[in-house]
Amino acid sequence: MFGKKRLFGKMDSFVNIIAIAIAEAAWQQQKRVGLTEDRRIAAAIASLLIGRDSSHTDQEKRSAKQLAATMLRECDDIRFAAVMCLRTTAVTNGTEAAIAVLGTIDWLSTLGEIPAAAPDPETMQRLAYDMAMRYCPNAVKIIK
């Protein structure tokens, strides 16, 4: 049991790093499309794409979903990272999380190809590193 708990904790820590990279990418996307830069919307996008509950308002969630859809259509790496995070969340956070995540993955499938790969610690670590290098290179020190 301890090994499984430790493994899940490690996988969740990689999801957290990827969430930071997704939030940074969302903030950059806001600037690119001329929207007012709003860190709460960027955080709402990250929460949506990694399958975590958030305390955002309904309006923030709607705005986040609209901007996320644009990002997911344009950025294969973010779509791949989101799917891997959602699958990790489904495995590490129990039945309720798994059920919630299925709806998000279904929505993602309408925006582009969904990878068949399953998350494992090595894949998630590499993905966390790659996403951090691309979207927030100053955070890479945390991963190493």
Q: What is the pTM of this model?
A: 0.89
- Contact predicate 64/41, CB 8 Å: yes
Q: pLDDT tens digits, the chain, 144 residues: what are they?
A: 447 888 888 999 999 999 999 999 999 988 888 877 788 899 999 999 999 887 889 999 999 999 999 999 999 999 999 999 999 999 988 888 899 899 999 999 999 999 898 899 999 999 999 999 999 887 656 555
Name the one residue in this structure whose structure tokens are 């890479």.
140
Name the one residue in this structure whose structure tokens are 């919307």.
41
Domain around 129: 2-143
Q: How many C-beta neighbours within 10 Å does residue 109 have?
A: 12
- Between the alpha carbon of residue 62 and those of residues 15, 41, 44, the distances in Å are 23, 9, 9
Contacts of residue 1, defined as CB under 8 A and 6 or more positions apart, other chains included, come to none
- Residue 75 CA to residue 10 CA, distance in Å, equals 26
Domain count, the chain: 1
Angle in degrees, 0-180, between the axes of helices 2-32 and 58-74, rounded to the nearest 10: 90
- Residue 112 CA to residue 108 CA, distance in Å, equals 7
